[in-house]
């Protein structure tokens, strides 16, 4: 007799990680994706996304014949459990677009065996799991909410070592089946109703966004009053009730999920008649953060936060939405680049990984494969993603290549003292001397460009 089959629909960050990890835990897994070329590659062990350990687990699963990749959803006829890992992008007016999910459910309705459990791993608005059951129209196939909390760049680790596993269903038998999938993992399991599970996922991402907007707003205050956000953050982080994570200021938060999920949660609140002003402000601070970065760049290269960037050559270091991923979707780096480009700057960019996922519009940015080329004849460098290797660049050489050695370090990655010795004038975020003046006065300590 063959082992029971687990089906996974969608071979993206969540689906492929789920597939590979469940196979690693000893299951037979069939992963279905509509993208034929992705499926062909995966059959040969070619993993299209950069996630540590993922290619190894896919290779292990293929070698053990526990893994199958296909475009044919009808192969899920024998599956005991089918996990939906489909995209739920930001749709019109910020509402989650569930069209892919809905069409997949329509297709699965005629395929799944009686008693199969459908697991909603996609991030979906409250009520979607219940509605998915109706769309499926199969009283013999329960649908369970089981949101995923993994981070890109840590997907395999986070799947195998989750902080918690949430199983949202009123159906005890279906819940047991889903809990069983994770039996080998050492993590607390929380059984909830489907609505609470769905909302908890959005609430988690929105809280992370809130923490980041708080620290970015705090960084602005630090600049104005002469405090150092790094020191303030260390003090905050040592309070167990606050915790040290997500306290690093930056160019704003992005990625494929925080922006769409805050937006979808706002729409949910609106529809429920709740004025979630705190969350609206969280998003507004994030938009303002990009503008602050652009003002810092203007000031660093022209001496005034209102100086013109028309025709000014700028080098960008980093394009992905954070370090450790190749994902460009909703990258704050790209948002800042777009603003700079709109202001007339001529942009050259280097990123060690960008390009693997997302396919955003990079028009107007000259991509180079050598970080030193971004400095050539540049009026300044803007560091946008916290790739650690940027610290190890030969900054003296970069200074020699640049027209004007001003660096705006939106991640506080570089050590200003070390840089100073190589001729650079460093502007960070939220540290003394980084003052940003929206009124365009030029700053208490005079234009940076004059201090070279
Ligand atoms: N990316 C992340 O870090 C996390 C994402 N999530 C959520 O998980 C869900 C999936 O996100 P990602 O994995 O990032 O998406 P993704 O965009 O990386 O992958 C989605 C995959 O689904 C495939 N697909 C599209 N339509 C299909 C169909 N009808 N049948 C089969 N395959 C189809 C696509 O070809 C693609 O391979 C979303 O709801 C997201 O919010 C949750 C936690 C973490
Ligand atoms: O639902 C999702 O898709 C996932 O969204 C986020 O994961 P991810 O998108 O991989 O990105 P994060 O690591 O959360 O980073 C988000 C943004 O915040 C920024 N960030 C993060 C931390 C920090 O201290 N400072 C900071 O600016 C990052 O640079 C990035 O732009 C959540 O962390 C995951 O738990 C969740 O599962």
| CATH code of the domain in which 232 resides | 3.40.50.720
Taking the C-alpha atoms of residue 222 and residue 233, their distance in angstroms, rounded to an integer, is 11
pLDDT of residue 3: 72
Residues 148 and 55 in one domain: yes
46, two tokens: 């070619």
Same domain, 139 and 212: no
Q: Which of 145, 161, 192 is the endpoint of a domain?
A: 192
Mean of pLDDT values over 1-20 = 92
- The ipTM (two decimal places) reads 0.99
Annotated catalytic residue within 85, 116, 222, 257: 257
- Contact between 4 and 142 under an 8 Å Cβ cutoff? The reply is no
**323 CA from centroid of ligand 2 (Å):** 10
Parallel, antiparallel or unpaired: strands 380-383 and 365-367:
unpaired
Closest CA to 348 of 290, 288, 403, 416: 403
Q: With 80 as the cut, is the pLDDT of residue 440 above it?
A: no
Atom of ligand 1 nearest to the CA of 32: 31
Q: Does ligand 1 lie within 6 Å of residue 325's CB atom?
A: no
Nearest to 160 by CA among 12, 22, 42, 27: 22
Helix (H), strand (E) at residue 176? helix 172-181
Average of per-residue pLDDT across 132-137: 94
Confidence of residue 438 (pLDDT cuts 50, 70, 90): low
Q: Are residue 53 and residue 73 in the same domain, yes or no?
A: yes
Instruction: For residues 344 and 295, state if they share a domain.
Output: yes
pLDDT level of residue 443 (50, 70, 90 thresholds): very low
Q: Is 360 found in the same domain as 258? A: yes
Give pLDDT, residue 441: 43
pLDDT at 58 over 60: yes
Q: What is the rounded average pLDDT for all residues in the chain?
A: 93
What pLDDT band is residue 43 in, cutting at 50, 70 and 90?
A: very high
Give the ligand whose atoms come closest to the C-alpha of residue 158.
2
Percentage of the residues of the chain whose pLDDT score is greater than 90 = 89
**DSSP code per residue over 272-322:** TT---HHHHHHHHHHHHHHHHHHHHHHHHHHSSTT---TT-EEEEE--SSS
User: Which of 132, 162, 192 is the endpoint of a domain?
Assistant: 192
Torsion of CA 116, 121, 126, 129, to 10 degrees: -10
Lowest-confidence pick of 141-145, 208-212, 246-250, 355-359: 355-359
Structure confidence at residue 432 (pLDDT): 81
CA of 63 to the centre of ligand 1 (A): 25
Is position 31 annotated as part of the catalytic site? no
* pLDDT surpassing 50 at residue 358: no
Which residue puts its alpha carbon closest to atom 20 of ligand 1?
12
Rounded-to-integer distance, Cα 350 and Cα 292, Å: 22
Can you tell me the distance from the alpha carbon of 162 to that of 210, in angstroms, rounded to the nearest whole number?
Answer: 22
Same domain, yes or no, for 441 and 323? yes
**Does residue 85's CB lie within 6 angstroms of at least one atom of ligand 1?**
yes
Q: Of 42-46, 355-359, 391-395, which gets the smallest average pLDDT?
A: 355-359
**8-state DSSP, 113:** P
The binding site for NAD(+) consists of 33, 38, 88, 123, 152, 260, 329
Residue nearest to atom 5 of ligand 2 (CA): 257
Strand partners, 314: 347, 380
**Can you tell me the distance from the alpha carbon of 344 to that of 83, in angstroms, rounded to the nearest whole number?**
47
Quick: pLDDT tens for 285-312: 999 999 999 999 999 999 999 999 999 9
Residue 81 structure tokens: 């459990």
Same domain, 232 and 168: no
Helix, strand, coil in percent for the chain, rounding step 5 = 40, 15, 45
pLDDT above 80 for 435: no
Query: Is residue 100 over pLDDT 60?
Result: yes
Least-confidence region, from 31-45, 117-131, 240-254, 354-368: 354-368
Q: What is the pLDDT of residue 320?
A: 95
Give the residue whose CA is nearest to atom 37 of ligand 2: 149
> What percent of the chain is predicted at pLDDT more than 70?
94
The two tokens of residue 41 are 């590659």
257 Cβ closer than 6 Å to some ligand 1 atom: yes
Centre a 10 Å sphere on the Cβ of residue 62 and count the other Cβ atoms it contains: 18
Query: Domain check: are 174 and 203 in the same one?
Result: no
For residue 122, the enclosing domain spans 5-192
CA gap 407, 388 in Å, rounded = 16
Residues 242-253: b if buried by 16+ CB within 10 A, e if exposed: eeeebbbbbbbb
Known binding-site residues for substrate equal 149-152, 201, 246-250, 254, 322
DSSP state of 364: T
Based on the fold, state whether residues 451 and 436 are members of the same structural domain. yes
Q: What pLDDT, on a 0 to 100 scale, did the predictor assign at position 355?
A: 56
End residue of a domain, out of 159, 192, 225? 192
Please give the pLDDT value at position 160.
98
Mean pLDDT of 311-338: 96
Q: How far is the CA of 16 from the centre of ligand 1 (A)?
A: 9
**Given pLDDT bands bounded at 50, 70 and 90, which one contains residue 359?**
very low
CB distance 28 to 103 below 8 Å = no
Residue 227: pLDDT above 90?
A: yes
Q: Are residues 220 and 140 in the same domain?
A: no
Q: State how many domains the chain has.
A: 2
Question: Cβ contacts of residue 248 below 8 Å, gap of 6+?
Answer: 215, 233, 386, 411, 412
Cα-to-centroid distance, 392 and ligand 2 (Å): 24
Q: What whole-number distance in Å separates Cα of residue 246 and Cα of residue 214?
A: 10
Band (414; pLDDT cuts 50, 70, 90): very high
CB 14 near ligand 1, within 6 Å = yes
Residues 301 and 170 both lie in one domain? no
Annotated binding site: 33, 38, 88, 123, 149-152, 201, 246-250, 254, 260, 322, 329
| pLDDT above 70: residue 1 | no
Residue 354 and residue 432 share a domain? yes
Q: Which of 357, 363, 354 is nearest to 384 (CA)?
A: 354
Residues 350-360 have a mean pLDDT of: 66
């Amino acid at each position: 007799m063959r082992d029971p089959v687990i089906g996974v629909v969608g071979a993206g960050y969540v689906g492929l990680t789920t597939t590979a990890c469940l196979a690693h835990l000893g299951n037979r897994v069939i992963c279905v994706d509509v993208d034929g070329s992705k499926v062909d590659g995966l059959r040969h062990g070619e993993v299209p996304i950069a996630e540590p350990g993922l290619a190894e687990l896919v290779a292990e699963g293929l070698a053990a014949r526990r893994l199958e990749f296909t475009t044919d959803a009808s192969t899920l006829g024998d599956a005991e459990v089918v996990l939906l890992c489909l995209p739920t992008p930001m749709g019109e007016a910020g509402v989650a677009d569930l069209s892919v999910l809905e069409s997949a459910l329509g297709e699965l309705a005629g395929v799944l065996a009686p008693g199969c459990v459908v697991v909603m791993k996609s991030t979906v608005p409250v009520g979607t799991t219940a509605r998915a059951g109706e769309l499926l129209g199969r009283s013999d196939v329960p649908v369970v909410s089981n949101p995923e909390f993994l981070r890109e760049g840590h997907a395999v680790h986070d799947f195998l070592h989750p902080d918690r596993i949430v199983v949202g269903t009123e159906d005890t038998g279906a819940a047991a089946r889903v809990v069983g999938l994770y039996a080998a993992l050492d993590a607390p399991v929380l059984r909830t109703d489907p609505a609470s599970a769905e909302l908890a996922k959005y609430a988690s991402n929105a809280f992370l966004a809130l923490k980041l907007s708080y620290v970015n707003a705090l960084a602005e205050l630090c600049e104005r009053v002469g405090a150092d956000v790094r020191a303030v953050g260390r003090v905050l982080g040592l309070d167990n009730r606050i915790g040290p994570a997500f306290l690093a200021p930056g160019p704003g938060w992005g990625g494929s999920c925080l922006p769409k999920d805050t937006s979808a949660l706002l729409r949910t609140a609106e529809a429920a008649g709740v004025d979630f002003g705190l969350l609206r402000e969280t998003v507004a601070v994030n938009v303002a953060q990009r503008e602050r970065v652009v003002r810092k760049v203007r000031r660093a290269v022209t001496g005034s936060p209102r100086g013109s960037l028309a025709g000014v050559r700028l080098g960008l270091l980093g394009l992905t939405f954070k370090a450790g991923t190749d994902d460009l979707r909703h990258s704050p780096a790209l948002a800042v680049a777009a603003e700079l480009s709109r202001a007339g700057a001529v942009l050259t960019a280097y990123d060690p990984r960008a390009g693997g996922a997302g396919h955003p519009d990079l028009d107007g940015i000259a991509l180079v494969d050598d970080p030193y080329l971004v400095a050539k004849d540049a009026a300044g460098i803007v560091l946008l993603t916290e790739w650690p290797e940027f610290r190890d660049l030969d900054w003296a050489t970069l200074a020699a290549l640049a027209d004007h050695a001003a660096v705006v370090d939106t991640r506080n990655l570089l050590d200003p003292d070390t840089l100073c010795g190589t001729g650079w004038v460093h502007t960070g975020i939220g540290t003394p001397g980084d003052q940003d003046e929206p009124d365009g006065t030029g700053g208490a300590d005079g234009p940076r460009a004059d201090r070279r």
